[in-house]
Every structure is written in C-alpha cells, then in structure tokens.
Amino acid sequence: MTTPDHLPRIDLTQAVQVVRDQLMAAAATGAGQELRFDVGEIQMEFAVELRRDSRVKGGVKAWVVSADADTGSGSAHTHKVAFTLKPKDARTGADWEIGNDGPEADLSGFGTAG
C-alpha cells in the first residue's frame, strides 16, 4: 500500500498544518458574525507509510497515504496513526472560538510563540 510515485507526498506535519490553516481561515471569515462556534477537540486519523529518509533526523519519516488504498499484502508497511488536538489561543491559553469579533479576534499572533 504505497503512494504512487507520481503523486506528491504529504507528511504528517503538512497534514496537521492544513487543518490549522483552515481553522484560522474559518475564524477570519467568521469575524463579526453573530453566530460563533467553539472549536472543540479535533480527532485526526491517518494511514501512514513509514520510510527511511537520510535527510530526516532519526532517519524515518511518516507519509500520509490514500484512505482508499487497498489493504492487501502491502499493508505490513502502513500504520494507523490517530490523535486528538484541542486548539488553544497561544496568547491566552483559552479555548478557541470561530467567529469571535472581540479584541482576541486579531489572528496576527495566533500560533506563534510569545
């Protein structure tokens, strides 16, 4: 169960970053709206393929593979990774809200070490 060589590989870091980017975009789009949403726990699950990579510290990299990949004889090389994320505002430590129009709606420092 490998990712075809003609498809770009997505590593686990990139997959999580896409979710973070899209949540921030949703918050920016929802600023000023009367309806708001609390962002609760985000459960993520991926099928990953572990490969040795001499460019990576530790030598192993986890690549996300297609969810519809078959579970035939190649499945010995893939693993299921599941985890839960709970978004927090990097400045206040508070739970995050989409659609917040108060002073905390400024996203310029969200996610940065401070």
pTM above 0.95, yes or no: no
In the chain (114 residues long), the average pLDDT of successive 10-residue segments reads: 59 88 88 85 86 68 66 58 88 81 57 50
Residue 35 pLDDT: 84
Residue 4 pLDDT: 53
In contact, 74 and 2? CB cutoff 8 Å: yes
Helices (H), the chain: 12-30
Residue 103 pLDDT: 56
| Distances 26 to 11, 19, 81, 88, 96 between C-alpha atoms, Å | 23, 11, 26, 15, 12
| Distances 23 to 20, 32, 85, 105, 110 between C-alpha atoms, Å | 5, 16, 12, 13, 11
Residue 84 pLDDT: 92
- Amino acid at residue number 66: S
In contact, 62 and 47? CB cutoff 8 Å: no
Cα–Cα distance, 107 to 99 (Å, whole number): 12
